[in-house]
Structure 1
Amino acid sequence: MSDRPKQGARPAFREWRARRPFWGGLLLALGGAEILLTEKASLKVILHSGAQNLAGYLLPTVMLLCGLLILFNPTQRLFYSIIGVLASLATWLTSNLGGFFVGLLLGAVGSCLAFGWLPDQEPRVSRRKRRKEARAAQAARTVHEAVQL
């Protein structure tokens, strides 16, 4: 293999995705979009009936915007995820039980994923790989001790 960096859209997207809470922002945005799409009343009816009923459209829009902001501005992910989880929980009362629970769950899970994301965390090593490395280190120590005797 050559030492030059990979080129193309897929490696660039992977690198972009690795630097942000991608799945959290995506799930939060999908939850807001799902609730907006399952609204029963038209916007004309909502605007005519008053500002109190406008929350049925306003909260999913806030969820959608928070999800997109988490994707494109990950430094402020804590604030956006808190606002996103509060908005998604409030949709239970304002928007057809939170988009029939699907949008509510997508929004809550996405917000929690975004809140818990750590930007400079080392990749996890599986238990099997840790055991294999420990066995190799133990074998190297025993060989080193045997050579010294």
Structure 2
Amino acid sequence: MSGIGVPVGEGEPQPAGAAAHRASPGVRAWRAWRAWRRSRPFWGGLLILAGGLEILMTVWAPLGVVLHVGMQNFIGYVVPIVIVLCALLLWFHPAQRVFYSLVAIVCGLGSWLTSNMGGFIIGLLLTLIGGALAFAWAHDETV
């Protein structure tokens, strides 16, 4: 057979990186997202972020729902904002994960007194579980 119409190199083994260059933009974006997510305590940060936002939303709840426990002024807003910042810092600066996770855990426990019983307990639990996950996370160099 003369090979007319057959692309050059078809049927020959391709180098390892050749398949990555031919992947669609969506596949490349998904692979980049997965690599970024695996290189940091993503799930711990996500739970801390959800807990901090939930605590912050209960501080802004209507007065009929809010339990006025503790200092509702400045500290009631600062604690959930610090929790949200710790979650973002866990994602974007994972080298300091131990410090950020401990700060999130301490602020989560402090939210019991300052922010409506820790966001009616739900935000407190999300923050504590996320902080524990982030604290225990270890980067696997082989992946």
**Residue 35 of structure 1 aligns to which amino acid in structure 2?**
I
CA distance in structure 2 between the partners assigned to 1:21 and 1:57 by the alignment: 25
Distance 1:9 1:52 in 2: 43
The residue correspondences of 1:17-32 to structure 2 (distance < 5 A) are 17-32=37-52
TM-score normalised by L of structure 2: 0.73
Task: Please point out which of 91, 115, 138 is paired with 2:111.
Answer: 91
The answer to whether structure 1 residue 108 and structure 2 residue 128 are counterparts is yes
Q: CA offsets, 1:2-53, max 9 Å, x none?
A: 63335422111101001000000111111111111111479xxxxxxxx873
Residue 58 of structure 2 corresponds to residue 38 of structure 1: yes
- For residues 107 and 50 of structure 2, the distance between their equivalents in structure 1, rounded to whole angstroms, comes to 14
* Structure 1 stretches of at least 4 aligned residues deviating more than 6 Å after TM superposition: none
Once superposed, what is the RMSD of the aligned Cα atoms? 2.2
Distance 2:86 2:74 in 1: 18
Unaligned runs of 5+ in 1: 43-50, 124-149
Greater fraction helix: 1
Identical counterparts, % of pairs: 49
Cα distance in 1 between the residues matched to 2:56 and 2:72: 17
How many residues matched?
115
Point out where structure 2 has 5 or more consecutive residues left out of the alignment: 1-12, 63-70
Secondary structure at 2:90 match in 1: helix
